[in-house]
Amino acid sequence: MVRGDFLRGFGSMIPLWVGVVPFGLAYAVSARSAGLSLLETQLMSLVVFAGSAQFSAAGLFLINASSVSLVLTTFIINARHLLYSLSLGQRASYSWGRQAISAFFLTDEAFGIVTSQGNYGFAFLLGAELSLYGVWNLSTFLGALVGEVVPDPTVLGADFVFPVAFLALLIPLIRSRLDLAVAAGAGVAALLLAGQIGSGLAILITGVGGSLLGAWLSGREDNPSP
């Protein structure tokens, strides 16, 4: 049963590899261009394991930014993971060791797959997480080796994979007008804020705001005014 759940989680991420591989290659090229060695480039993927944060870090290395800037930028970009962890914590009871493991490997994609399928078992979650971790690190290694021959993933249209994938995960979760109102409101707010404050912080703010909006609207439905 545990092995089956792990393999199902692992396999559920395979369709997203087509979007992950080009960005892993492109990150490695950016990191190498910023002066990072092959080992340093690979260690970023092994230890940090956060695509957007790694791209930002490569740019900061290029301009010799301070370590404080690197840490703060990474924190802001990945702050949305606090919401993911809170959500998982309400639905799954893991031991401290499993919490630490799942938190380290947690990504947007793994959280989306687990939530959409309603399978919060540790084996399924770990399978999904390691599936992406493996392909991301392999892509990083290949990108660091082949260098400048890697094309821009946005030119290939690979950046289109993730929004479409998350829409496919979101739509089955919308079961009422309230769900639709919250999803639409949070989506519009995220789009408006992303251009002003960056996508990482925008997702965090709209995630919290959407949760509060959903709670308020649910309260109104449960306790209508006389």
Encode pLDDT of 66-87 as tens digits.
888 888 878 877 777 887 888 8
The number of distinct structural domains making up the chain is 2
Instruction: Tell whether 151 and 191 lie within a shared domain.
Output: no
225 within domain boundaries: no
Instruction: Tell whether 55 and 149 lie within a shared domain.
Output: yes
41 within domain boundaries: yes
Give pTM, 2 decimals: 0.75
| CA distance linking residue 96 with residue 33, whole number of Å | 39
167 within domain boundaries: no
Q: Are 113 and 130 in contact (CB under 8 A)?
A: no
Q: Are 74 and 50 in contact (CB under 8 A)?
A: yes
Instruction: Tell whether 178 and 147 lie within a shared domain.
Output: no
Instruction: Tell whether 15 and 100 lie within a shared domain.
Output: yes
Alpha helices (runs of H) in 17-121, residue ranges in sequence order: 17-33, 38-43, 51-62, 67-77, 81-91, 96-105, 108-117
Interval 133-180: pLDDT, tens? 999 999 999 988 886 665 555 555 555 555 666 666 667 667 778 778
> 3-state DSSP helix/strand/coil percent for the chain, to nearest 5?
85, 0, 15
Instruction: Tell whether 194 and 121 lie within a shared domain.
Output: no
Q: Which residues neighbour 4 within 8 Å (Cβ) at sequence distance 6 or greater?
A: none
Instruction: Tell whether 56 and 114 lie within a shared domain.
Output: yes
Kindly state the percentage of the chain with pLDDT values over 70. Answer: 82
Q: Are 100 and 87 in contact (CB under 8 A)?
A: no
Cα–Cα distances in Å, from 101 out to 84, 105, 127, 172, 199? 14, 7, 12, 28, 26
Instruction: Tell whether 59 and 143 lie within a shared domain.
Output: yes
168 within domain boundaries: no
Instruction: Tell whether 103 and 195 lie within a shared domain.
Output: no
Q: Are 72 and 57 in contact (CB under 8 A)?
A: no
6-10, 152-156, 180-184: the lowest-pLDDT one: 152-156
CA 43, 45, 47 angle in degrees (round to 5)? 65
Instruction: Tell whether 115 and 9 lie within a shared domain.
Output: yes
Mean pLDDT of 41-66: 86
The per-residue pLDDT for 136 is 94
Among 42, 32, 30, 40, smallest CA distance to 141 is for 42
Q: Higher confidence at residue 40 or residue 151?
A: 40
The per-residue pLDDT for 42 is 94
Q: Are 116 and 171 in contact (CB under 8 A)?
A: no
Instruction: Tell whether 74 and 15 lie within a shared domain.
Output: yes
The per-residue pLDDT for 41 is 92
Average pLDDT, the chain: 81
Give the domain extent around 192.
174-220
69 within domain boundaries: yes
Cα–Cα distances in Å, from 95 out to 82, 99, 202? 18, 6, 31
Cα–Cα distances in Å, from 219 out to 21, 86, 173, 216? 43, 21, 20, 5
Among 93, 99, 102, 112, smallest CA distance to 13 is for 112
Instruction: Tell whether 112 and 151 lie within a shared domain.
Output: yes
Interval 106-138: pLDDT, tens? 988 898 888 888 888 999 999 999 999 999 999
